[in-house]
Amino acid sequence: MKILFLSRLSEDWDAPLNRLKEEFPEVEFRINDNPEERITELRNSDAVIAGRLTVEEIESAPELKAVIVPFTGLNNFPIDIINKRNIKLYNTHANAPFVAEHAVALALALLGKVTEFQDDLKKGVWNRTKEADDMWTSIRRKNIGILGYGHIGKYIAKYLKAFDCHIIGFRRNVNSQKNEVADEISSNLDEAITKSDILFNVLPLNPETKHIINAEKIAKMKGKYIVTVGRGETISEDAMYNGLKDGILAGAAIDVWYKYPGKSEEPVMPANFPFWELPNVVMSPHKSAHTAEAVKAMIEDTCSNIRNFIRSGKQK
């Protein structure tokens, strides 16, 4: 059995990978981050650990039985082809409590005007009046809409219960699960938007969710805040920018973006519209899962998925 890693592994992987090698000495573990050798390596691999795969790469791997994703998002994979081939697909939600923690931190910074007050105080300006512009907004007892009420969304709900918030969870499939943290679960996006003071976007990106929050939806968010740690393209970029600029949205805290740096060392602005010029925006460079505890948890969970795959193969 050959298990292929298609990326350079950080030193955080050293000990977990060594444990896998000791536990399964008969398994070949290969690491190759050369983009020109991906297809060659895939041809005789039983499982691959990768952050993205193309249709061509999947089709070039006749022995492939499992795709193991070391994080949550699956938008960089040809899911239809993987399902058609009956290839097992694993991902990890081990970072969920940490992403949720960062999302709540962004919300508190946004409503608390933390960065705005800090920037002013650096100039010697004290926002000490009780005028409306100098007041911050409490999150206590607010109605919270969580768009994408899954692993991360449930942690956000759990954390915000400490502030006596009313939680409305939005997801397409509503079931009768017990012990839900949310006060309400809805499959109606408009209903979730209308009822909420603050919206947390935790939606994955797929054909159904791309630009699911568009100009029409933004128009229904008068005076509301949005915190987005899902995928950037779930929200129409121009609709959100115009909603913020025109005073429809009260504010936004954004961790996921529309433009990302490549191999060039030149600075890259994160969007096509100047969100950074708006006073009612808090920005974060896609850092919600970037904490040592989250990295360790995701590696360990990915290793558990590798173990599960190897053991399932042995049982046949």
Q: How would you label 131-168 residue by residue, b for 16+ Cβ within 10 Å and e otherwise?
A: eeeeeeeebeebbbbbbbbbbbbbbbbebbeeeebbbb
**Residue corresponding to tokens 């940490």:** 98
Best CA proximity match to 73, nearest among 217, 289, 253, 258: 289
**Residue corresponding to tokens 């508190």:** 108
What pLDDT digit, counting tens, does each position of 69-99 carry? 998 888 889 999 999 999 999 999 999 999 9
**Residue corresponding to tokens 């398994």:** 27
Confidence (pLDDT) at 80: 92
> Residue 18, class by beta-carbon neighbours within 10 Å (0-12 exposed, 13-18 middle, 19+ buried)?
exposed
Can you tell me the distance from the alpha carbon of 13 to that of 197, in angstroms, rounded to the nearest whole number?
42
Under 8 Å CB-to-CB from 248, ≥6 apart: which residues?
218, 219, 221, 222, 242
Domain architecture of the chain: domains with CATH: 2-94+293-314 (3.40.50.720), 96-283 (3.40.50.720)
What pLDDT digit, counting tens, does each position of 2-47 carry? 999 999 999 999 999 999 999 999 999 999 999 999 999 999 999 9
Helix, strand, or coil (residue 195): helix
Confidence (pLDDT) at 316: 39
User: H/E element holding 240?
Assistant: helix 237-245
Can you tell me the distance from the alpha carbon of 2 to that of 62, in angstroms, rounded to the nearest whole number?
13
Percent of residues, the chain, with pLDDT higher than 90? 87
Mean local confidence (pLDDT), 179-199: 93
Mean pLDDT of the chain: 94
Confidence (pLDDT) at 251: 98
Can you tell me the distance from the alpha carbon of 87 to that of 82, in angstroms, rounded to the nearest whole number?
5
